[in-house]
Amino acid sequence: MASDSRYRPEDRPVSAAGETAVEAVGQDPELTELERRHNRFIWPVTAFFLVYYLSLNVLAGTAPGFMGRKVFGQFTFGYLFALSQFLMAFIVAWAYTRFARRRIDPLAADLRDKFHDKEVAR
């Protein structure tokens, strides 16, 4: 491996026991679980906010009359829908942060500890 010039050896950390990160935790079921949780959150939520956002532009283009309908006072449906995008962004950011703190960070910290503690474990 080390002979292959396309790789940069400095990118590869080595644990105290002389193992690379992949050797130390690459096969760990915790890593698979971490990846699974991550993917199961980010892709559906990304699909959701893309659809929610792009539907604002599509509605503005195709249904200006509907968007211009006043819901109360001078507040149109279009204005409230656009404003709701900001609220949506705040909520998604909050939900992701909460998810990552509870479901991702502990696993990642555990895997880092395993890597650093390899020497102790032997």
User: Distance between CA atoms of 117 and 113, rounded to whole angstroms?
Assistant: 6
C-beta of 121: minimal distance to other proteins in Å? 16
Q: Give, for 83, the enclosing helix (H) or strand (E).
A: helix 77-99
By CB under 8 A, tell whether 106 contacts other proteins. Answer: no
49, 82, 111 from 55: Cα distances, Å: 10, 10, 40
Q: How far apart are CA 90 and CA 92, in angstroms?
A: 6
CB of 67 to other proteins, least distance (A): 5
- Establish if 118 lies at the interface with other proteins (CB under 8 A): no
Q: Does 67 bind other proteins (CB under 8 A)?
A: yes
Looking at the chain, how many residues does it have? 122
Among the listed residues 118, 111, 87, the one whose alpha carbon sits nearest the alpha carbon of residue 37: 111
19 binds other proteins (CB under 8 A): no
Q: By the criterion CB under 8 A, which residues form the site for other proteins? A: 1-2, 5-13, 20-22, 25-26, 31, 34-35, 38, 41-42, 45-46, 49-50, 53-54, 56-58, 60-62, 64-65, 67-68, 70, 73-76, 78-79, 82-83, 85-86, 88-90, 92-93, 96-97, 100-101, 105, 108, 111-112, 115
